[in-house]
Amino acid sequence: MASQTLAPRNYDIAELKRLDVAHHLPAQQDWQLIEDMGGSTIVTHADGCTIIDGEGRRLLDGMAGLWCVNAGYGRNELAEVAARQMRELPFYNTFFKTVTPPTVSLAARIAGLTAGTLPHVFFNTSGSEANDTVLRMVRHYWKLKGEPTRTTIISRWNAYHGSTVAGVSLGGMRFMHEQGDLPIPGVAHVRQPYWFGEGFDQDPAQFAAACAQAIEDKILELGPENVAAFIGEPVQGAGGVIIPHETYWLAVAAICRKYGILLVADEVICGFGRLGQWFGHQHFGFTPDVMAMAKGLSSGYLPISATAVAPHIVEVLKTGGDFVHGFTYSGHPVAAAVAEANIDILAREGLIARTRDDSGPYLVRALATLNDHPLVGETRSLGLIGAVEIVSEPGTNRRFGGGEGMAGGQAGPIVRDACIARGLMVRAIRDTIVMSPPLIITHAEIDQLVATIRAALDASHAALLAL
């Protein structure tokens, strides 16, 4: 069980806000806006599924931090594991033909979770780095295999694979490509399986087939001999919780096999129970050749990520001498020890099975109660990741301010702010309210989450009509 035993410190919140504006540049933010707000909201402590800010406001954390605190906040056990490992060995590297016990143990543990399909694990610190590793690894693999023209990686528009140069390039967010002159060469994007946004008037299965076919079309356009891999999130998270039709991934996997193209699953959000299985690909029934993971691996308690790889790739990479890639903190012993203890918690408390059999289905039913709301176009969820689509006309995918599907973008932030004002932390992605709560969330907290979204929609109605 989560528990908070330490009394929170008394911070000088006004001074912290002043220093925040003066010195701190927050990630993925409009710094002028933060200054105009007088500084970011200072979150001081948390317990279970609740975060508490400097003004003492309690918010139900519908986002598990940033899709990551799967085990919930206040896990003293993880703090103790970190402290013990820091005292014993705070750091050692894997560059010098050396390794630490927690690193080896975690690699073996992750391999076991893949049922032996991906038994080799490379460690990084963030999800973005896990995908940088993917890019270098798969290109190097093809070169060693004697097919050096296989360099292009196919991804989807509106995918999110991180914020490093490779992460943004692999991702399909055009507004991110605009900053930093990206993508790098050798990345091609195809349509996403976003039925509500882009396939609304089509049969969902036919739409999914068309989205998979777009991958085959792109392979043929580029020439299969030039394609290294396809990468995708089992469920796109930051793109708006896009849950593909159940047939999509099997079709994608068949296409990759047909052309001998590596299949990469970015499980940074979907991994570690989010979809009710250890990994999202296990839900959709396909087996990737490479998998990136982060976030839920340590429930966000320390930064750590991993790239798990199939034996046939590692055997080829072993023929190439040093793989000259890796980071100071690859396999960091403290992060690795905490990650393994976190996996112990997820397993011991049955949180994955509970997400699949109990809380996930409960979230589906609870969100469905919003379907009668005039501002709701669709609710969807899988495991403990979900979305509510805000529309200007019930029964359509029309957006406030004009356009359909991917259009809009002004309504979401209004409803999100109304949720936050009512004690619920959720995120707006365009006009989609998304959620990804800790896997320990109770039925009562799910009811609270859904009731708060309803109240926020009601309170926002007039403002949305004015858009």
Ligand X SMILES: Cc1ncc(COP(=O)(O)O)c(C=O)c1O
Binding residues for ligand X, per CB under 6 A?
126-128, 131, 160-163, 167, 233, 237-238, 266, 268-269, 294
**Residue 330 to residue 314: CA distance in whole angstroms:** 18
Q: How far is the CB of 241 from ligand X (least distance, A)?
A: 11
In the complex with ligand X, the residue whose CB is nearer, 136 or 454, is 136
Q: How far is the CB of 428 from ligand X (least distance, A)?
A: 15
Q: Bridge-partner residues for 262, per DSSP?
A: 229
In the complex with ligand X, the residue whose CB is nearer, 163 or 247, is 163
Look-up of token digits 């694990």: 121
Q: How far is the CB of 157 from ligand X (least distance, A)?
A: 15
Q: How far is the CB of 454 from ligand X (least distance, A)?
A: 27
**Residue 460 to residue 16: CA distance in whole angstroms:** 31
Q: How far is the CB of 141 from ligand X (least distance, A)?
A: 21
In the complex with ligand X, the residue whose CB is nearer, 48 or 300, is 300
In the complex with ligand X, the residue whose CB is nearer, 214 or 235, is 235
Q: Bridge-partner residues for 291, per DSSP?
A: 265, 308
Q: How far is the CB of 325 from ligand X (least distance, A)?
A: 16
In the complex with ligand X, the residue whose CB is nearer, 398 or 427, is 427
Q: How far is the CB of 328 from ligand X (least distance, A)?
A: 16
Q: How far is the CB of 182 from ligand X (least distance, A)?
A: 15
Q: How far is the CB of 237 from ligand X (least distance, A)?
A: 5
Q: How far is the CB of 151 from ligand X (least distance, A)?
A: 21
In the complex with ligand X, the residue whose CB is nearer, 236 or 392, is 236
Q: How far is the CB of 131 from ligand X (least distance, A)?
A: 6
In the complex with ligand X, the residue whose CB is nearer, 265 or 440, is 265
Q: Bridge-partner residues for 155, per DSSP?
A: 189
Q: How far is the CB of 460 from ligand X (least distance, A)?
A: 26
Using H for helix, E for strand and C for coil, what is the string for the chain? CCCCCCCCCCCCHHHHHHHHHHHCCCCCCCHHHHHHCCCCCCEEEEEECEEEECCCCEEEECCHHHHCCCCCECCHHHHHHHHHHHHHCCCCCCCCCCCCHHHHHHHHHHHHHCCCCCCEEEEECCHHHHHHHHHHHHHHHHHHCCCCCCCEEEEECCCCCCCCHHHHHHCCCHHHHCCCCCCCCCEEEECCCCHHHHCCCCCHHHHHHHHHHHHHHHHHHHCHHHEEEEEECCCECCCCCECCCCCHHHHHHHHHHHCCCEEEEECCCCCCCCCCCCCHHHHHCCCCCEEEECHHHCCCCCCCEEEEECHHHHHHHHHHCCCCCCCCCCCCHHHHHHHHHHHHHHHHCCHHHHHHHHHHHHHHHHHHHHHHCCCEEEEEEECCEEEEEECCCCCCCECCCCCECCCCCCHHHHHHHHHHHCCEECEEECCEEEECCCCCCCHHHHHHHHHHHHHHHHHHHHHHHCC
In the complex with ligand X, the residue whose CB is nearer, 189 or 399, is 189
**Residue 415 to residue 394: CA distance in whole angstroms:** 17
**Residue 349 to residue 438: CA distance in whole angstroms:** 13
Residues in the chain: 467
Residue 275 buriedness (CB in 10 A; 0-12 / 13-18 / 19+): buried
Q: Bridge-partner residues for 427, per DSSP?
A: 434
In the complex with ligand X, the residue whose CB is nearer, 122 or 160, is 160
Residue nearest to ligand X (CB): 127
In the complex with ligand X, the residue whose CB is nearer, 132 or 378, is 132
In the complex with ligand X, the residue whose CB is nearer, 140 or 274, is 274
In the complex with ligand X, the residue whose CB is nearer, 296 or 377, is 296
